[in-house]
Amino acid sequence: MMLKIDNLNVHYGAIHALQGISFELEKGEIVALIGANGAGKSTTLNTISGILRPREGSVLFQGQPIHEMPPQEIVRKGIVHVPEGRKIFPRMTVWENLEMGAYTQSDRATINRDIESAFERFSRLKERRNQVSGTLSGGEQQMLAIARGLMAHPTLLLLDEPSMGLSPILVEQIFDIIQDINEQGTSILLVEQNAQMALAIADRAYVLETGKIVMQGSGDELLENPSVIEAYLGGH
């Protein structure tokens, strides 16, 4: 078991944001968390990556509890979180952002090779390597955020709303890239509002509603589940 979340309870002040959620992710899987705004999807990722602390419950990564570790150590364990809204460093160049992604890496030759392979995968970024990244388009920023995340050699990649604000063509591209990353051996926990796309590539998925998991199943099962269609796929 790569990731095991057990009875996770997280509070923001008086708000009980996660109310005892439990789920699992096997090595090599893409698992999607879908749900409406405010359901607790981002809170879940922020708790796994150590930005938030649970009041109750545990997060086990490869059998080891990580819910009391500071975020910088969780990164070193192999969990990389690509946050919602890309959160690239806007006043740094594309190249510097990639260097920041490799912050935990110490071998210069590996870092340089990783930057080259990031540029191979995202050729737009190569053209703009010395551009200040705040001036990139939304799609380019999302690609930079993912490329930056890969620089740390994650075994588990947490992706928060990678399709947000992107055109349908770009969304397709991003999801192709996600599948490609997964095929090369990285497990992925994907949070998405675009349930259609997320369920299409996910091995399994969990549906979150107001801090609780209300449904789970394989991606295909949920795509055909009437109440999922009703609530998240905008159809009948």
**96 binding another protein? (CB under 8 A):** yes
Find the shortest distance in angstroms from Cβ 149 to another protein: 8
User: Residue 47 is inside which H or E element, if any?
Assistant: helix 41-48
With respect to another protein, which residue has the nearer C-beta, 19 or 105? 105
Check: CB of residue 82 under 8 Å from CB of residue 162: yes
Backbone angles phi, psi at 64, to 5 degrees: -110, 135
Check: CB of residue 179 under 8 Å from CB of residue 202: no
With respect to another protein, which residue has the nearer C-beta, 51 or 231? 51
**132 binding another protein? (CB under 8 A):** no
Total residues contacting another protein by CB under 8 A comes to 25
Check: CB of residue 175 under 8 Å from CB of residue 197: yes
Find the shortest distance in angstroms from Cβ 58 to another protein: 21
The one among 87, 107, 227, 230 contacting another protein by CB under 8 A? 87
The one among 89, 201, 216, 225 contacting another protein by CB under 8 A? 89
**33 binding another protein? (CB under 8 A):** no
- Find the angle CA(149)-CA(154)-CA(158) to the nearest 5 degrees: 65
Give residues 57-86 in contact with another protein (rule: CB under 8 A): 70-72, 75-76, 80-81, 83
The set of residues, in sequence order, having a beta carbon less than 8 Å from that of 162 and lying 6+ positions away, is 82, 142, 145, 146, 174, 175, 178, 190, 192
**51 binding another protein? (CB under 8 A):** yes
**100 binding another protein? (CB under 8 A):** yes
